[in-house]
Structure 1
Amino acid sequence: MGVPEDEANTAADVLIEADKRGISSHGIGRLKPIYCDRLDDGILRSTAPLTIIKDNDATAIVDGNNGLGLTIGPACMKMAIDKAKKHGIGCVIVQNSTHYGIAGYYATMATQAGCVGFSTTNARPSIAPTFGVEGMMGTNPLCFGIPTDEEFPFVIDCATSVNQRGKIERYGREGKPTPRGQVIDLDGNERTDTEGILQDLVKGRAALCPVGGAGDEMGGYKGYGWAATVELLCTAFQSGPFGEELAGVDRKTGAKKPMPLGHIFLAIDIESMCDLPTFKKNAGNFLRAVRSSKKDPKGPGRIWTAGEPEHCARTEKMAAGGFFIPPALQKGECELLHTRMRSLGLTTNM
């Protein structure tokens, strides 16, 4: 696709790590529609420089120049970690980037370096505000990573919507309806027709509900508030676009257009404030206490803490030699490879 080899390897690692953790909505299933198709459409650049707009001891603003978010993200989190190691804290804000995969990848980079990590990004508008029906905010994840003395860190990576587009796309591949309460249309109807939802999300005729759902009875205003917080942080520092400017398509003409996203990467060096092993032990003690607390007699008989299900999935998949790729996705990826190789004048026996 024209991406330099070292950057392509980094991008592949981010996508494959999502599948290893069992987060298939953000794994290689997004290779074609989110990355390759956008490269072909010219709304994503296969290679672009990282331009430093402002650089202080503990902070920086970086312009991704509409390059590949899967390579911009790792570079900028590393920058935040390097600043944290020198000054105790590092914060890097990115403008003009693109989809960067799972936020948890970046929080984990920080935990591996002995830091508390945070990352978030805005996205194309899809969440409707409480008592609204128009998508105004992206799924805007909130992601924290905290080191522990266990085999895995505490990593919480959640969208601020009840669900997000990637999982609805997975429902489509599996031929399943979307559960009620996750999507609302312009008439205020809760939608379950997956294929229709995917079409109407792009056209602006349907929107995702924030965490808590529609209205305020179940606390939907909380998810709405957090989604708005992310949007503010990802746009206000660097005068970035929001709403329809991130839709990726002109809703009047249907023409595709770039989606210049904003990201935030934050790292806090634990050793700058306390002994790292002590911090990890304190964190582990709390999490073990939570998991050993009284279980719901009607539940599965187990309590998980954030990062544990992903660790278990990764361990099981690697022990089994890898992860399974659904037939429909295999077919799509093979067709993509054949098309790309033919365009380069190459042949394959696959």
Structure 2
Amino acid sequence: MMRVSANAEKKFLQQVFKKNGFTEENGALLADTLVDADLRGISSHGIQRLAWYERMIADGTIKPTNQVKVLKESLTSLLIDANGNMGQLASAFAMKNLIKKAKANQVAMAVIRNSNHFGTAGYYSRLAAKAGLIGISTTNTRPLVVPTNAIEAFLGSNAFAFTFPAEPHPFVFDGATSSVSSGKIAVLAKNQRPIPGEWAVDRNRQVIHDSAQAFKILSEAAFTEHQSGGGVLTLGGNQETNSNYKGFGNSLVIELLTGILAQGSISADTSKGKHDFSQFFMVIDPAFFGDVEVLKAKATRMFNRIRKLAHLPGTKIMIPGDREYRNYDQNLKQGVVIDPRTQEEMAEIAKKFQLELPEVL
């Protein structure tokens, strides 16, 4: 593993995105979303995604020069066409507009169609939190997840993020509605490390810990029209007796809010013909319900009570967001961690565009 400064990583990413035809403004936003993920310790959605983005730009899945289009708008709603460009661009545009709408009208929501991968869902919800608002962000993905009792992938990992104002930082829940995102398995496979938990199954719905085998299964499900079976498990794991149908239900809710509401592809069909992801965002102004500082204080007291509950020796109770904000502060000082395989991919990209690699700390 090596560490580089966040600024050096961001500069390198901006240069790569510029070489790929993105405007300086768009390249800066894209770089910020990846660096932000790495700073928070969410390496599955950081710079390790760059080589994947490069391949999608090369095959025309991502169209760097296309502009975001507003198809329909009201005082509280937006329907947006990402126009085949990166999901981060349309998503940031949507959230910034929803923040303005929610401040004026208490609540606002947006649906994005014809989009691509948008990074971490929490990035956009945190924009709302910074404005003192409640933020909700969701997306569908390529087919990766096997529904309850199924043996083939159909659902996306379908991320969901929710933020609420609090101290010393906002409450931030940001996670897949499946056991894990495919990016976590990709990082393990890149570096020849086993899967530590019951995350994925083969075509016989047997749990597998070989990350290379799991990544092969996920790649087949996500990028080909035919699959031999297997995929990521829903929340609740492999057995229906552990209530995995609840995770299945959560994933379906996201499919309905994204692919169905956007009239785009559901996750299962994004590997067949037209590739398009969809996103859903919602912003709520808590000031409608009471004094924001009072609400924030009540939320903070609840979280602090939970943190102080009796707990197992050697463990610590953490509220969603605690770990990521701690990682952010540490990595801002120490530099972000980049795994060996991603280092090799960065070197290949640097050579392609005749760029200098970030200096190792």
TM-score, normalised on structure 1?
0.91
* Amino acid in structure 2 at the alignment position of 1:293: L
Q: 1:348 and 1:124, CA in 2 relative to 1: closer, same or farther beyond 3 A?
A: closer
CA distance in 2: counterparts of 1:27 and 1:224, whole angstroms:
27
CA distance in 2: counterparts of 1:37 and 1:272, whole angstroms:
46
Deviation at 1:187, TM superposition (A): 2.3
Q: Secondary structure at the match of 1:29?
A: helix
Q: Which has the higher contact order (CA 8 A, sep 6+)?
A: 2
Deviation at 1:173, TM superposition (A): 2.4
Alpha-carbon contact 1:153-1:307 (below 8 Å) kept: yes
Q: How many residues of Structure 1 are paired with residues of Structure 2 in the alignment?
A: 332
Matched, 1:21 2:37: no
Deviation at 1:139, TM superposition (A): 0.2
Matched, 1:229 2:253: yes
Q: 1:143 and 1:348, CA in 2 relative to 1: closer, same or farther beyond 3 A?
A: closer
Q: 1:235 and 1:327, CA in 2 relative to 1: closer, same or farther beyond 3 A?
A: closer
CA distance in 2: counterparts of 1:88 and 1:212, whole angstroms:
35
**Counterpart selection for 1:197 from 207, 214, 227:** 214
Per-residue CA distance 1:209-266 (angstroms, 9 max, x = gap): 101112311111111110011001112222111144212xx5xxxxxx6521110111
**Counterpart selection for 1:262 from 278, 282, 285:** 278
2:176 aligned residue: 159
CA distance in 2: counterparts of 1:102 and 1:333, whole angstroms:
21
2:345 aligned residue: 332
1:4 aligned residue: 23
Deviation at 1:180, TM superposition (A): 5.2
**After superposition, where does 1:261-280 map in structure 2 within 5 Å?**
261-280=277-296
* Amino acid in structure 1 at the alignment position of 2:218: L
**Counterpart selection for 2:56 from 24, 30, 38:** 38
CA distance in 2: counterparts of 1:285 and 1:338, whole angstroms:
52
1:115 aligned residue: 133
Detail structure 1 runs of 4+ shifted over 6 Å in the superposition.
347-350
1:344 aligned residue: none
Q: 1:112 and 1:220, CA in 2 relative to 1: closer, same or farther beyond 3 A?
A: same
**After superposition, where does 1:66-105 map in structure 2 within 5 Å?**
66-105=84-123
Q: 1:103 and 1:186, CA in 2 relative to 1: closer, same or farther beyond 3 A?
A: same
CA distance in 1: counterparts of 2:299 and 2:197, whole angstroms:
37
TM-score, normalised on structure 2?
0.88
Alpha-carbon contact 1:215-1:221 (below 8 Å) kept: no
Shifted more, 136-145 versus 324-333: the winner is 324-333
* Amino acid in structure 1 at the alignment position of 2:324: E
Per-residue CA distance 1:123-151 (angstroms, 9 max, x = gap): 00111110111111100112100111x22
Alpha-carbon contact 2:207-2:238 (below 8 Å) kept: no
CA distance in 2: counterparts of 1:58 and 1:276, whole angstroms:
21
Unaligned runs of 5+ in 1: 251-256, 342-346
Per-residue CA distance 1:186-208 (angstroms, 9 max, x = gap): 22222222112212222233211
Deviation at 1:71, TM superposition (A): 1.5
RMSD in angstroms over aligned alpha carbons? 1.7
Alpha-carbon contact 1:79-1:92 (below 8 Å) kept: no
Q: What is the identity percentage for the equivalent residue pairs of Structure 1 and Structure 2?
A: 30
Unaligned runs of 5+ in 2: 1-19, 222-228
